[in-house]
Amino acid sequence: MKYKKYLDKLESIEGKTFIVTGANSGLGYQTTLDLAYKKARVIMACRNVDKAQLAKEKILLEVKDAKLDIYRYDQGNFKSIDKFVNEINNNFSHIDGLVCNAGVYYPKANYKTADGFELTFGTNYLGTYYLLKKINPLLEKSKAKVVIVTSLTGAFASKKTKIKDNEKLGRNKIYGYSKYCLSRLCYELDQKSENVEYFLTHPGICQTNIISSDQTGLPSFISKAGHYFLYIFVHHANKACLTSLLALTTKDNQKKFIKPRGPFAISGLPTRKKFPKYSNKEVVEETEEYLKGKQKNL
Ligand SMILES: NC(=O)c1ccc[n+]([C@@H]2O[C@H](COP(=O)([O-])OP(=O)(O)OC[C@H]3O[C@@H](n4cnc5c(N)ncnc54)[C@H](OP(=O)(O)O)[C@@H]3O)[C@@H](O)[C@H]2O)c1
């Protein structure tokens, strides 16, 4: 396993229980592998149980005594999130941490979530928002840590756009906007929360399936060329996910924005910063108003 030395130096999390969304692929997979290596139990929250099972078997080859539980979780479907949270509440009385990792980039045109929202915004932002709202009592009771995975693109998002206008953005811009909203949410929840510590991480740019998944709307030559470009020129997910590992293990709750330390934060081992400036507006109220307008009183 790569970066074993870095992992070994992180605080022990042996016996703790973490949820990772989108645990079957890319950063979620590497995060799960590293948590298992650190002897934590991981709840793999995945929409495709077969893919999750394959990922679990692969992890077990590296960490023979890994404690991994697979739960079905579709972040693009509020009912699925409800079911997931009910199951977690029934089976676990304590959760040490949640990594909000699952996400999509540039899906096929006009794709919607099961609840009728634009797919990128509905999955990346609204699904995460809904999960955090529903699972909050358990997280508060557990004094858990939450890691929200954002992206470099969040910093360049159109900050004047209101949540109600998200669908006016193109498929590329809406990805950055969904991450911008997640960053704002992370900051706001951290300010408001009594017991939960919220961390914002971004992995830089790394090699995953993000531009080559079944859902991508990128032309196939761009998807393939981009995929190989990522494999050759940017850092591997096993280095990129250390940002989330550091967040889950650190006892320093002052600097809660963790990103790669290399030039332009594109790659490198993690470094800790204060929350970025772009995440300082009220976002919960705006999201509730939007959902109410869509007749989704949740
Ligand atoms: N790769 C990068 O350079 C980069 C940079 C910045 C931020 N990020 C962020 O990192 C996170 C992980 O992405 P990745 O790069 O590791 O890509 P990835 O390999 O494509 O992994 C994405 C994961 O999210 C899951 N997912 C997508 N839609 C879902 C849904 N509706 N319900 C549940 N799970 C869902 C996928 O499941 P399936 O396998 O079933 O599709 C997969 O497990 C994302 O939030 C992404 O925005 C990535």
CA-CA-CA-CA torsion sign (250, 187, 25, 93) = positive
CA–CA distances in Å: residue 80 to residues 53, 134, 146, 174, 255: 19, 12, 20, 23, 33
| Phi, psi at 163, each rounded to 5° | -55, -40
Total-model pTM:
0.95
Pocket test for ligand 1, best of 47, 73, 79, 120 (most atoms within 8 A of CB): 47
Residues enclosing ligand 1, CB less than 6 A? 21-22, 24-28, 47-48, 51, 73-76, 101-105, 123, 149, 151, 202-203, 205-206, 208-210, 213
Contact 101, 27 (CB under 8 A): yes
Work out whether strand 197-201 and strand 206-207 pair parallel, antiparallel, or are unpaired: unpaired
| Run of H or E including 183 | helix 171-192
Cα 61 to middle of ligand 1, angstroms: 23
pLDDT, residue 280, reads 63
Q: How many residues does the chain have?
A: 298
pLDDT by 10s per residue, the chain, length 298: 778 999 999 999 999 999 999 999 999 999 999 999 999 999 999 999 999 999 999 999 999 999 999 999 999 999 999 999 999 999 999 999 999 999 999 888 888 999 999 999 999 999 999 999 999 999 999 999 999 999 998 888 888 899 999 999 988 899 999 999 999 999 999 999 999 999 999 999 998 887 777 777 777 777 666 666 666 668 899 999 999 999 999 998 889 999 999 988 999 999 999 988 776 678 999 999 999 988 765 5
Instruction: Give the separation between CA 112 and CA 245, rounded to whole angstroms.
Output: 32
Cα 147 to middle of ligand 1, angstroms: 14
| Run of H or E including 119 | helix 119-120
pLDDT, residue 120, reads 96
Instruction: Give the separation between CA 187 and CA 256, rounded to whole angstroms.
Output: 9
pLDDT, residue 107, reads 85
Pocket test for ligand 1, best of 44, 82, 213, 266 (most atoms within 8 A of CB): 213
Q: Does domain 9-293 have CATH number 1.10.10.10?
A: no
Domain coordinates in residue numbering, the chain: 9-293
CA-CA-CA-CA torsion sign (74, 79, 83, 88) = positive
pLDDT, residue 226, reads 66
- Would you call 7 helix, strand, or coil by DSSP? helix
